[in-house]
Amino acid sequence: MPDNFEIDYTFGDHHYFYSIDTKDPDGHTLELTTLVVDEESFF
């Protein structure tokens, strides 16, 4: 993953989905997730 935005983040592999956690300028936690398995396997 390119890291040229100079944003501190952590990457999480949660088996069914990946996530990136970061903080906004006010210090609030933001989490972006994407499902990496078939929807039928998750739900």
Q: Is 35 part of a structural domain of the chain?
A: yes
Give the integer Cα–Cα distance in Å for 31 and 19.
7
Query: Is 15 inside a domain boundary?
Result: yes
In total, how many domains does the chain have?
1
Taking the chain (43 residues) in consecutive chunks of 10 residues, what is each chunk's mean pLDDT? Answer: 76 93 94 90 72
Residue 18, in any domain of the structure: yes
pTM of this prediction?
A: 0.65
Indicate whether 20 belongs to any domain: yes
Q: Which residue's entry shows tokens 């499902």? A: 35
36 assigned to some structural domain: yes
Q: Is residue 4 in a domain?
A: no
Range of the domain at 18: 10-42
Q: What pLDDT is recorded for position 4?
A: 72
Assess if residue 3 is contained within a domain. Answer: no
**19 domain residue, yes or no:** yes
d(C-alpha 15, C-alpha 26), whole Å: 30
